[in-house]
Chain A
Amino acid sequence: MNFLTEFGVKPILLLAQVVNFLILLFILKRFLYKPILKVLEDRKQKIAQGLQDADEIEKRLQQITAEREEKLKAAGKDAEGILREATKTAEQIIAEAHVKAQKDIEKLMEKSEANMKLERAKMQQEMQAELVDLVVLALGKITGKVVSSRDHKEMIEKTLKNL
């Protein structure tokens, strides 16, 4: 062990350095490794949590999108159904209206025809009456004799009827 003294090795210096090193070890462990490793671990967990959350959000978003699409599709189908029904109803209403209008027109025409007939009959009657008067007048003028108007009338009406 003689060579060690040549290197200046002394047990007390060795011991002092060991103590020195252990003090440094303790300080660094307490003030450097512990907080830094803790913060590293915390961050790792936070990042993992964040990624997990992001995944969940993505999943939820997909779910919501799918749901919305489904709902939209259902709503579209419903709307189509409603539209079809409405069209059907409208067509029915129009057809009914057509039928009714036709009926009304027919009724109106019938009525007007009847009216016209009535009018014509009236006119005929009137014309007859006038004709009778005219004939009476003419006969009177021709015969120069005034026939009692009542007799005449009866006679003429009879003749007219026979005509």
Chain B
Amino acid sequence: MNIELAAEQIGHIGALPVTNTMLMSWVVTAILSITAIIVSRKVTLVPAGLQNFFEFVIEYAYNMTEELAHSKAKVFFPFIMTFFLFIITSNWLGLLPGFGTIGFNEIKDGKETFIPLLRSINADLNMTLSLALVSVIVTHFFAVRYLGIKDYLKKWFALNPIFLFVGLLELVGEVTKVVSLSFRLFGNIFAGEVVLATIAGIFAFVAPLPFYFLEIIVGFVQAAVFMMLTLTFMVLLTEKHGEEH
């Protein structure tokens, strides 16, 4: 078993190269969208079935958001919830049989290589990096919106040389956020894929089962961590500087 660090390209639409993770990302989007539409079509005051489940998830997440963000919860919530739903769906979907094993062979650089058609979305840095970028950029956008451009800039730049230095360090920290968010998610899921592939390579029956359970937990934890961190960053950055002193 050999897992490529980069996602394999399986085709292209016009100028857009379509990788296997890209394809799965569309699948996840479709699954979530269809589920959402099915749920929303018959939302009743007395919940039943799927509505019950989503109510539970959404209410829990919303209460948590409200606890941290108070009045801003309504604005933050869609982003946070979507991060969670998208990441957990893609993580768990990536555990299904067929991922990494269904594919085709292609002659590449003069030798035949196996191209899997399906690949866990977050085992591709493109995907996690774009999620992290959305998270951080939206956070800064909210900061400008809630603080105003003046207070926002004051967070980073000050006339006092010490605070100026601190502000610059924090600015670097913002870049680090992108890196840490993306690489944490990517690393966890990619490592999981590698472990599962390796164990399956040694003995494919029963042996990988404990690792599958582990990956289910990791998939949930990573989704929750990404959600929580995004929420925390949003709350912290939209607060006025010096309010806590």
Contact = CB atoms under 8 A, between A and B. Distances in A.
Interface of A: 4, 6-10, 12-18, 20-25, 27-29, 31-40, 42-43, 46
Given A14-B130, A24-B86, A36-B54, A7 B22 contact: no
A6 B5 contact: yes
A111 B7 CA distance: 143
Given A32-B36, A33-B58, A12 B17 contact: yes
Given A13-B22, A15-B130, A16-B22, 18 more contacts: A9-B125, A9-B129, A12-B17, A14-B133, A17-B131, A24-B28, A24-B82, A24-B86, A25-B82, A27-B33, A27-B36, A27-B37, A28-B36, A29-B82, A33-B58, A33-B81, A36-B51, A36-B58
Interface string B1-42: 000111100000001110100100110110011011101100
Contacts of A29: 78, 82
B45 A32 contact: no
A83 to B, nearest CB: 58
SS of B interface (majority)? helix
B78 A33 contact: yes
B79 interface: yes
SS of A interface (majority)? helix
B85 A28 contact: yes
Contact of B134 (A4, A22, A36, A39): A22
A37 B7 contact: no
B40 A35 contact: yes
Contacts of B226: none
A17 B44 contact: no
Given A12-B17, A24-B29, A32 B58 contact: yes
Given A13-B22, A39-B43, A18 B81 contact: no
A20 B15 CA distance: 16
A8 B26 CA distance: 19
Contacts of A16: 16, 22
B16 A20 contact: no
A8 B29 contact: no
A4 B28 CA distance: 25
A20 B45 contact: no
B185 to A, nearest CB: 13
Given A12-B16, A18-B134, A28 B22 contact: no
B128 to A, nearest CB: 9
A115 B45 CA distance: 105
A31 to B, nearest CB: 4
Given A27-B33, A28-B78, A36 B130 contact: no
